[in-house]
Amino acid sequence: MESDDDLALPPALAAIAALGFGPAPDDAEAADADPGEDPHPTVDFEAFEEFLDPEDATDWFRIWTNNPEAEADQFRIFGQTTSGGYAAFWLVREDAALPEQPIVFLGPEGETGVVACDLSAFLWLVADGSGPYEAVEHPTRRSQPHQEFTAIAVKHATGERMTAREVVAAARDEFPDFEDTMAELSR
């Protein structure tokens, strides 16, 4: 078991977790909703208060990949969608600090994708009204800036402001093989 300090989120993610995205609509509500009605479409994401324990992450990853030998030590899981998909830092950059690692989405039905090149880019993605699921499944989603998340990004991000589309495009350009890497681990 890791100490509480090892499971603590970076301050920017802790701020997002404290603010929250609000409840995601259920399927019936989504079907009845007028697409022009809500200027801030719901983001299907809940940031955890701390990282998922590594042992729990490995248990989940083995089931997700259907590979009893798979290890999740390359991920630091920090949130989930209502359907059980996880968002995580992917620890692929050797000797880089956690906030400099890319962020990925691992969906409940095997969906995968790189969401952002690093934490700063992820903050701009969220500020633009998208979450990890939306970045993978709806990468061209219309910008819906969120005032409170924008304030968090302005305070914590080290990179230039980007739209969600720009964040996702940059991540896919830098890490084009993520999906193949996950497919190789799966059985």
Q: Are strands 86-90 and 75-80 parallel, antiparallel or unpaired?
A: antiparallel
Question: For each of the chain's 187 residues, which pLDDT tens digit applies?
Answer: 444 568 999 999 999 999 988 665 454 444 454 544 444 457 899 999 999 999 999 999 999 999 999 999 999 999 999 999 999 999 999 999 999 999 999 999 999 999 999 999 999 999 999 999 999 999 888 889 999 999 999 999 998 999 999 999 999 999 999 999 999 998 8
pLDDT at 141: 86
- Closest by CA to 166, choosing from 144, 134, 139, is 139
> What domain count does the chain have?
1
pLDDT at 26: 52
The dihedral through the CA atoms of 61, 87, 113, 35 has a sign that is positive
Domain extent at residue 69: 4-185
pLDDT at 23: 60
CA distance 183 to 130: 25
pLDDT at 95: 95
Helix, coil or strand: residue 3: coil
Cβ-based neighbours of 92, under 8 Å, separated by 6 or more: 74, 101, 102, 175
pLDDT at 40: 47
With 0.85 as the threshold, say if the pTM is over it. Answer: yes
3-state SS of 84-143? CCEEEEECCCCCCCHHHCCEEEECCCCCEEEEECCHHHHHHHHHCCCCHHHHHHCCCCCC
pLDDT at 28: 43
Query: pLDDT tens digit string along 151-182?
Result: 999 999 998 999 999 999 999 999 999 999 99
